[in-house]
Every structure is written in C-alpha cells, then in structure tokens.
Amino acid sequence: MKKLALLPLIALMASPALADTPEETAAAALEAAPVWDGHNDVPIQLRGRFRNVINDFDFEDTTDTGPEHSAGRVMHTDLMRLREGKVGAQFWSVYVSASLDEPEAVQAVTEQIDVTKRLIDRYPGDLALALTADDVEAAMARGQIASLLGMEGGHSIGSSLAVLRQTYVMGARYMTLTHSKNTPWADSATDTPQHNGLTDFGKDVVREMNRLGMLVDLSHVSAKAMHDALDVAKAPVIFSHSSARAINGHARNVPDDVLSRLPANGGIIMVTAVPGFLSEAARQWNANRSAEQARLEALWQGQPEAVEAALSNWDEANPLPKADIGDMADHIDHVRKVAGIDSIGIGGDYDGIPFAPDGLEDVSTYPALFTELARRGYTQSQLEQISFGNMMRVMRAAEDYSARVSDMLPIESPVPD
C-alpha cells in the first residue's frame, strides 16, 4: 500500500508541469552561451547618419534616433538593447556600397574599420575588439561584448590580395565575397552572372583567406559561387546572414544542395531576420509591387504624380504580409533538417534592414527567438550550439587551419602595368 501511495507523487514529479518552461530553457541557454551574432550594420548607420563623426554619439541608448535620420527609422542597436538581447559577441559589418568603384571602396572600407574601432574604444566597459577566438572568450569573461569586424563585399579589396591581407591586419575577420553586384572575380546572387561562380582569382581569394585564418562568408554570392568556394575551401565557411531557399525562394537564401554540404565542410549558416528573406508571401508581394510600379510607369509616362498616387492606392489595397518570429524559427527548423544542428547560427542583419519581423523588432529580442525554439523542442544544449558554440567551433577551426599552414607563402598575383 505504501508503494502505491508513492505513485501519484512520482507521477507528479515526472510531469511536464515541473519541467523547465521554454522561457527558462532559453534563459539558461543564453546565460551559459550568449548570442554570437554574425552580422550587424551599425557602422553604415554611423556613416549614413553622422558621416562618421561620432565623438558625441551616444551608443548607450539610440532610441532617440529617428526623424532627422534615415526617414524616421530608429536604430535597432545600442548597448542597452544588446545587453537585453543577451548578445555576447558581435560581428560588426564594415559594409560600403557595392556601387562604388574599387579604389573608392578600398578607401571607404578603411574608414569604416576606423570608425568601428573608434566606437569600440569609446566604450571599454562594454565592448572589446576581438581578433581571435581566445579574444572572444576573454572579453566575455570580463563582461564585455566581444566585437569583431566583418567586411561585406569583395569589392572592398579592389581585386587585390595585398589589400585583402592588409584588411586582415587592420582587424577584419571575415569577408563576404560579394554584395549586391558581381565583383570582377565572383558572381553575386542578385546580379546577372558573369563568371559562372568564381574565377581562378576568386578561388585564390578563398585560398588566401583560409591561409590567413579569415572566414569566407558566402552570404550574397550566387549558388554556383557557393559551390565553387566549398570546392576550394580548406576551413569552414559561414553565411553571416542568410536563410533557407526551400522556404523562401529569394536568391539571397541558400539552396538545399548547398546546405547539405555544410556538415562535410564544418561551416554554418547564420539565419537572418530579414523579413523579405523569411516570408515567401512577403517575397511574392515585393515582386508584385515591383511589377505594378513598372506597369504604372509605362501607363503614365512623364506623370510621376499619377504613378505615385496609383501606387499608393495599390499599397492600401494590398498590405505587405508581415514576417514574424515563427518564420525565422521555421528557417532554423529547415536548416536543422537538411544540415543538422551543428550548422546553425544567428545573423540578424539589424540596422541593415528598414524594419524587422514582428516579435524580433531589434537586438533586444533574441531571448524571444530562443524561447520559440525551446517551445519547438530544442534542448538547452542545442540552443547553446545555435547561439554561440557553433560559431566558436568554426572560428577555432579557421585559426587551426591557418596555424597548420603557417609556413605557406602568401599567394601572389601581379599588379597591373
């Protein structure tokens, strides 16, 4: 009889009611392994809003940025919200426009590296420049947000391996091979292909990045360039801010035949919060709106007011479908299914987008995303891999490969006559 009396108590102790809630699982994961975010565009906000004059810029709280800057959009990022979002390491994107000629891009990216370092130096209690995986761990142990630099777009090296090497010396630890346009050596996902992926020089760029220990970022490149880079790479690659093309067909997303190669390479896709890359309905809306605008401009040539009025009426009748936190979790689910839990990271692209998904409005909202993943059955250990562990493994692997080939001579290419 006593044994029988214990059964209800045992059943109660084993019941889901006493298990960790999704909120508790997510909180425990982010306490143990804060988010290592693959892509944030604060540096281009500094350039666009303040022309890189930042001595009076308050990065503690940017919620008062707005009407006088960037059509009223408040910045997505500040120290207060990074802390709230449990961000422990951040790749700051030193992006410059792909429309710049290469010599201008080289100067501009140097300016962006400079302004980002100056921002980091202004907040030594909160931020620390990190050049290695050990630096990341040390900064976080001190309670600082480890701050790494990522170059977005190969146009910024001016088709020069020497410039690539010098940007590494300046602190850049990844480079996205293209941005929205092709480079002379790599095809972009959003431009008309010219090279059938990577040229021979483009493959040398990948090899030299591997030799340096600089991460090869395949966001923004064409699917053929993704495959070419994976064919050449000796170290894990990253996608710093992309999502799954099987769910949203945008060219910026990664097809399954590329995702399926990540386990063998050891690389990761850092799933992004860009609404147009998450929601297929939003992608279709964008295409339909572009078509409608083209139709109206053909119909009302030389009458921009008529076009604007008609397009405004179309917008009112056809509201943009919103992406939300569930859409981002769906992409993570898909990557897990195709490439496995070891292949997932997070790359929000905050301050590089005009607006974010519902529930993920700024960098403070990462705990909500991890709560949603916990609700879907992800364990604390798996959440820790996604938030931090996978990216740390990738960076260490890139550094380890570089150390193993330290006696390899730099790849040389002749300068123009």
Give the active site residues: 39, 41, 152, 179, 220, 241, 349
CA distance 162 to 233: 19
Q: What is the CA radius of gyration of the chain?
A: 23
**Phi, psi of 335, rounded to the nearest 5 degrees:** -60, -40
CA distance 123 to 15: 47
> Rounded to 5 degrees, what angle do the CA atoms 224, 225, 231 make?
90
DSSP conformation class of 340:
-
Two structure tokens written together for 208: 């030299």
Two structure tokens written together for 396: 């260490």
**Phi, psi of 92, rounded to the nearest 5 degrees:** -90, 125
Whether the Cβ atoms of residue 404 and residue 241 lie closer than 8 Å to each other: no
Q: Is 340 exposed, middle or buried (0-12, 13-18, 19+ CB in 10 A)?
A: middle
Two structure tokens written together for 252: 């910026």
Q: Is 349 exposed, middle or buried (0-12, 13-18, 19+ CB in 10 A)?
A: buried
Two structure tokens written together for 144: 């600082």
Two structure tokens written together for 289: 């709106």
Two structure tokens written together for 371: 């709560």
Whether the Cβ atoms of residue 274 and residue 353 lie closer than 8 Å to each other: yes
